[in-house]
Structure 1
Amino acid sequence: MSGFVNALVIVAVAAVVIARQFRTRAIGTDRRWWLLPVILAVVALREPGILDDHHPTASAALLAVELLIGVITGAGWAWTTRIWTAPDGVVWTRSTKASAVVWLVGIALRAGVFALGAASGVHQDSSALMLGLAATLLVRAGILTWRAQSLGGPSRPAPAYGDDMRLAWKERV
């Protein structure tokens, strides 16, 4: 795919994912949460220009920083997402204002990485950005699925995320 098509895919996926996460929705722990990030990673890695041929070390370092930013953004997004169990055992999730801040900081850091690369003359393809987005989505989905599984089902209700005042064992009485 061309860089323009990659950019459109990145913007479309980010817009859909972000819009969905700021609405309350049930989270399924048995679904294939890893599928979209893996598809994005495969598409990104198939592109030949992910590393600059003239600056392989510098472009690999920038790619590593991009992936690190993606992992940290995904973890920050997952841990700032509110998650709770309804009385019927369904696990619900919704991103918070802190999640939006995590996204904005992640985007600013990614822009800084691209600016640093441009200033140093390193060509960066949009595949690096797509790979970073895949890392963000994979880490976020993995942490949320783990958190949702740790809440238990209808036989074991659990407190809502951030609700330190309530103990789960007292709710069953």
Structure 2
Amino acid sequence: MSGFTNVLVIVAVLALVLARQFRTERLSMDRKWWLLPAILGFFALRDGSLVDPHHLTGSVVLLVVSLLVSFGIGIGWAFTTRVWSDEHGDVWTKGTVATAGTWLGGIASRAAVVGIGLAMGIHLGSSALMLGFALSLLIRSGLVMWRAGGLRSAYVGPLAQPAWEDRR
């Protein structure tokens, strides 16, 4: 994909994720939470323009820094998302004010990495941004599912009964 197409895909996915992040949503435990990050990562890697061929060492270092920032953003995003279970054992999620702060901090951090690169004459393409977003989304989704799994396994509702009692 071209750089412009990458940016359009990132903006569309970002709008979808943001719209879903800040509304109360029931979490489906069988959902393929890893699929969207995997697709984004595939397209980012397929493009082949992750690093600046004229500044290979510097761009690899900036890419690694960018991915470390993305990893941290994913962790912050996951642990600022409110996760709870209701009286039926269903798990719900919703972003908080701290989640919005994580988003803003993440945008500022990524802009700083890109700015440092530009000051050094290194151009990180939109594929690097897409890969970073895919990593953040993968980390966030995995950690939220892990947190939700702990809630689900700890839930014992008033209607819960062993399977052998159902046969009477």
**TM-score computed with the length of structure 2 as normaliser:** 0.90
- Structure 1 gaps, min length 5: 158-173
How far apart are 1:30 and its partner, in Å?
1.5
Which residues in structure 2 correspond to 1:139-158 (within 5 Å)? 139-152=139-152, 155-156=155-156
How far apart are 1:58 and its partner, in Å?
0.6
Q: Deviations over 1:100-146 (max 9, x none)?
A: 00000000000011111111001211000000000000000000000
- Structure 2 gaps, min length 5: 158-168
Q: Please tell me whether residue 100 in structure 1 is matched to residue 100 in structure 2.
A: yes
Q: Secondary structure at the match of 1:87?
A: coil
Runs of 4+ more than 6 Å apart: none
How far apart are 1:153 and its partner, in Å?
5.1
Counterpart Cα distance in 2 of 1:28 and 1:64? 32
Counterpart Cα distance in 2 of 1:51 and 1:155? 47
Q: Secondary structure at the match of 1:130?
A: helix
Equivalent AA in structure 2 for residue 76 of structure 1: G
Q: Deviations over 1:2-37 (max 9, x none)?
A: 101100111111111011110000011221100000
Q: Secondary structure at the match of 1:49?
A: coil
The structure number with the bigger radius of gyration is: 2
User: Is the Cα–Cα contact under 8 Å of residues 89 and 154 in structure 1 kept in the other structure?
Assistant: no
How far apart are 1:155 and its partner, in Å?
4.8
RMSD: 1.2
Specify the alignment match of 2:160 in structure 1.
Answer: none
Counterpart Cα distance in 2 of 1:155 and 1:82? 17
Equivalent AA in structure 2 for residue 130 of structure 1: M
Number of positions where the alignment pairs a residue of Structure 1 with one of Structure 2: 157
